[in-house]
Structure 1
Amino acid sequence: MNRRVLSVLVENQSGVLSKIAGLFSRRGYNIDSLSVGETENPKISRMTITIADDDYIIEQITKQLYKLIPVIKVIELKPDNAVYRELVLVKIKTTLETRASLIETTNIFRGKIIDVSKDTMTVELTGDSNKISAYIEMITPYGIVEFVRSGFAGLQRGNIKITD
């Protein structure tokens, strides 16, 4: 099974997220990642849903999503025709001895240091899943206090808008 990314445009109203999550839950489909936000039109939200399933399941999910009233459009974002990004915030243990090395590693990955305290440093990093995972692997020996990954956000390449 491959990771598949669906971009779902929905009416921006209360209860839509719970309807869509309920659909996945009732059918026994697992959501690997979910990010939701308002689009350029405040009446519409974009849900980026990442799941690991085959063509048949994706087709079934798409059909079921279209049956929900607030769903406007569903498309699969294919890797060769889309841009994906993810955000991670990581709080890392630091000492005076390790701080310079952590800063250098963060700069190599084009991360941004957003908070520093006596014993920790918090880094913001965006990129594809592989970049985020590689950074996490590199800094793990320093000691990760906590981190959060945002989930995927994605758009189709080119001039095509899925609201057309």
Structure 2
Amino acid sequence: MKKTFDTEKKLYTLSLLVQDIPGVLSQVARLFSRKGYNIESIVSGETSQPGVTRITIVILGDELMVNQIAAQCRKLIPVMVVKILDEETSIQREFAMIKVKAVDRNARDEVIQMANIFRANIIDVSRETLTVAIFGDKSKTSALIDLLDDFGILEMAKTGTLAIERGRSSIYDDNKLREEYNYGKNVL
């Protein structure tokens, strides 16, 4: 029986564990570029295991495309694990710092009130600006940015999406799959 894939384009989150070696992030990103896939967000950072880096990639595509790129990532020598994270069973967050014009007391008060409503923090204050830091899901961050835009955003820095599975599930659960990924890589 042939498997059918959903052809609707949506955002997919891939989580990879890779060996922490120079150029590994570039190698993974080049794979997406060669295949003509646009990366919406990419974040790389250390894990609890020495020598292992976690890369979280968000791409816009359909189910078939995501499964194909995941399979291609698994073939890369430094890649240990690849997991497609489901939106319902994972926690996805991003971080943003937004520098906003606040030229008078009323503007400053309004920005501070908005930051409080969104549980954001004011991390820098000057006579004419406030810098707001927010951590949350993409919709929360976007909503605050839209409201702050009325004051005049001078500068903004955002991370990509960070993601981890909910509950007891983890990227380390697929021991059988991890062994399959590594099969043949050690032969080279």
Q: Same fold (TM over 0.5)?
A: yes
Question: How far 1:77 sits from its partner (Å)?
Answer: 1.0
Aligned to 1:21, which of 26, 29, 34? 29
Structure 1 consecutive aligned stretches of length 4 or more whose deviation exceeds 3 Å: none
Q: Which has the larger radius of gyration?
A: 2
Question: How far 1:148 sits from its partner (Å)?
Answer: 1.4
Counterpart-to-counterpart distance in 1, 2:136 and 2:149? 18
User: What value does the CA root-mean-square deviation take over the aligned residues?
Assistant: 0.8
- Which amino acid is 1:12 matched to? D
Aligned to 1:5, which of 4, 9, 13? 13
- Which amino acid is 1:147 matched to? M
Counterpart-to-counterpart distance in 2, 1:160 and 1:2? 23
Question: How far 1:123 sits from its partner (Å)?
Answer: 0.8
| Number of corresponding residues | 164
2:93 match: secondary structure: strand
Counterpart-to-counterpart distance in 2, 1:69 and 1:87? 31
Task: Compare 154-163 and 49-58 and name the one that shifted more.
Answer: 154-163
- In the TM superposition, what are the counterparts of 1:144-163 in structure 2 within 5 Å? 144-163=153-172
**Which residue pairs with 1:136 in the alignment?**
145
Residue 32 in structure 1 maps to residue 63 in structure 2:
no
Question: How far 1:13 sits from its partner (Å)?
Answer: 1.1
TM-score by length of 2: 0.85
Q: Which runs of 5+ in 1 are unaligned?
A: none
Percentage identity across aligned positions? 42
Task: Note the alpha carbon deviations across 1:60-95, whole angstroms, 9 max, x for none.
Answer: 101110110010111111111000000000000002
